[in-house]
Amino acid sequence: KKTLSLRLVTRFVNYIFTPIDGAFPISSKKVHVTGHAIDFNHLIMSKNDNGKVVSVGRIDRVKQLDVLIKAMNKLDSKNGPSLGVDLIGPVTDPKYEAELKKDWVNRAQLKFLGPINHTLIFSVLSEYSFCFMGTANSIDKAFIEACVSGCFPLSTNKQALKSVGQNRLKTTDIAE
């Protein structure tokens, strides 16, 4: 969103650093794309086709985890219980956490695992088939790490899907 404060700041700074092209909403010669600085030395490729879904990041409304919960509920109603969803990260919005727990039809399949040490991220991600990112206007580093670990990406964010090579999918493909 091109707010007045962003436009003003852009005029008074020499450089603007962003991890991906398009993440900063104002086009400027001052914008420099730096990447996410992912340490691939600890990469462990996922060989799992267990159907488990993971989302890594804080438990907060901005992460739109309710979209994932609604999609999994719909999937469960069509195909029977899924293998579940694990949410990894600190809870920064306890009310939202309670809403997610209440909205999940098959509550036993939803796990809040809390934060993990970042040095373990690749080994943990290798235990999942899918990773979800619901953040609307940016791409989380954890999402990219999950994708390079071999998890298939699930997101409503077209820019995120494009960044991991899934730009051929349509929104309806994901919703169904």
* Terminal-to-terminal C-alpha distance of the chain: 29
CA-based R_g, the chain, Å: 17
The residues that bridge with 114 in the sheet, in sequence order, are: 88
**pLDDT on residue 119:** 85
Give the integer Cα–Cα distance in Å for 102 and 85: 14
The pLDDT of residue 1: 55
Whether 55 contacts 22, CB under 8 Å? no
Q: Which of 175, 135, 140 is nearest to 157 (CA)?
A: 135
Identify whether the C-beta of residue 146 lies closer than 8 Å to the C-beta of residue 48.
no
Pairwise CA distance, residues 176 & 166, whole Å: 16
Instruction: Give CA–CA dist 153/162, Å, rounded.
Output: 10
Say what the pTM is.
0.67
What residue ranges of the chain have pLDDT lower than 70? 1-2, 35-49, 79-83, 106-108, 137, 159-176
Asked if 134 and 65 count as a contact pair (C-beta separation under 8 A), the reply is yes
> Which DSSP helix (H) or strand (E) runs through 148?
helix 141-148
The encoded tokens of residue 84 equal: 């579940």
